[in-house]
């Protein structure tokens, strides 16, 4: 993350932060503070595949489910 921030500010190119980013608030702080343009999450997404949905909820966003998930929803008559 410090490297992403330094390169972004000194070189002026877009950067992504990676490495032990596990909490939605932590990821949001990185983006909001301008430290990086993108946050990449690896192992935590393996531990919790629905991390992005949880993050949206925790950060007060409307969860955006993948469209294809809707195909599996039972319809009521």
Binding residues for ligand FMN, per CB under 6 A? 18-21, 41-44
Contact (Cβ atoms closer than 8 angstroms) between residue 15 and residue 7 = yes
Residue nearest to ligand FMN (CB): 42
Nearest residue (CB) to ligand FMN, 20 versus 31: 20
Within 10 angstroms of residue 11's Cβ, the number of other Cβ atoms is 9
CA dist 71 and 77 (Å) reads 16
Exposed/middle/buried for residue 36 (C-beta within 10 Å: 0-12, 13-18, 19+): buried
Least Å distance, CB 45 to ligand FMN, is: 8
Nearest residue (CB) to ligand FMN, 2 versus 70: 2
Nearest residue (CB) to ligand FMN, 40 versus 59: 40
């Amino acid at each position: 993350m410090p490297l992403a921030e330094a390169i972004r500010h000194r070189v002026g190119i877009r950067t992504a932060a990676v490495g032990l980013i596990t909490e939605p608030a932590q990821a949001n702080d990185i983006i909001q503070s301008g430290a990086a343009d993108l946050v990449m999450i690896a192992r935590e997404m393996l531990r919790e595949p629905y991390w992005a949905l949880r993050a949206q909820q925790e950060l007060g966003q409307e969860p955006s489910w993948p469209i294809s998930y809707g195909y599996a929803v039972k319809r009521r008559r």
